[in-house]
Amino acid sequence: MSSTSAPQPVRWVKSTYSGGDGGQCVEWAPDHAYTTGEFLVRDSKNPDGPHLHLSSAGFTGLVELAKRRG
């Protein structure tokens, strides 16, 4: 008997670099990154919209950019 498990829903977390005024809200999926090495990023104001699939290096670059702009 074979068993297949349903894919787990992605848990999204608001970035600490998101603006506190509700205008610039970025979320990422840390559990997904930990298990797959792929970093998912989305706009929290549009959770059903498109999201980015980044490598570790790409995600690091995005965080560095947010630090410089913050």
What pLDDT score does 49 carry? 93
Helices (H), 1-70: 30-36, 56-69
The reported pLDDT for the residue numbered 7 is 67
Identify the pLDDT of residue 70: 63
Alpha carbon distance 56, 33 (integer Å): 9
Q: What is the mean pLDDT of residues 8-24?
A: 73
Each residue of 26-70: pLDDT tens digit? 899 999 999 999 999 999 889 899 999 999 999 999 889 878 876
pTM: 0.75
One-letter amino acid of 44: S
What pLDDT does residue 50 have? 94
Residue 3 pLDDT exceeds 60: no
